[in-house]
């Protein structure tokens, strides 16, 4: 299947092989500059913020529900209305 209006790139699909992490670092720095070292940071941070905030919100909501249920159970028990 061919895609129309997509420019062909000579390096498309070629995965560079590095002998060490240091060589990879130097190659990225040489080809893309300092900005290349941080490529993809913003989406990763946004993903982490969404995950952490949803976990915190779920925790707080669950805690509030459990407190509400616990208060009602204790109130009924103190009033002698709880049936075992």
> How much is the average pLDDT of 1-30?
77
Q: Which residue has the tokens 């209305």?
A: 81
Cβ atoms of 65 and 73 closer than 8 Å: no
Using a pLDDT cut of 70, give the percent of the chain over it.
Answer: 74
Least confident of 29-33, 59-63, 71-75, 76-80: 76-80
- Nearest CA to 24 among 16, 13, 33? 16
The angle subtended at Cα 82 by Cα 77 and Cα 84, nearest 5°, is 120
Reported as half-sphere exposure (CB side, CA atoms, 13 A), residue 29 has a value of 6
Alpha helices in the chain (DSSP H): 21-32, 34-37, 41-78
Token representation of residue 15: 């995965």
* pLDDT reading at 50 higher than 80: yes
Return the pLDDT at 78: 64
pTM of the model as a whole: 0.52
Return the pLDDT at 56: 98
């Amino acid at each position: 299947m061919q895609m129309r209006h997509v420019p062909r790139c000579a390096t498309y699909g070629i995965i560079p092989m590095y002998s060490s992490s240091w060589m990879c670092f130097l190659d990225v720095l040489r080809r893309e500059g300092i900005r290349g070292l941080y490529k993809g940071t913003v989406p990763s941070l946004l993903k982490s913020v969404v995950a952490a905030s949803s976990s915190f919100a779920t925790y707080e909501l669950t805690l509030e529900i459990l407190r509400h249920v616990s208060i009602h159970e204790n109130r009924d028990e103190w009033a002698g209305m709880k049936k075992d």
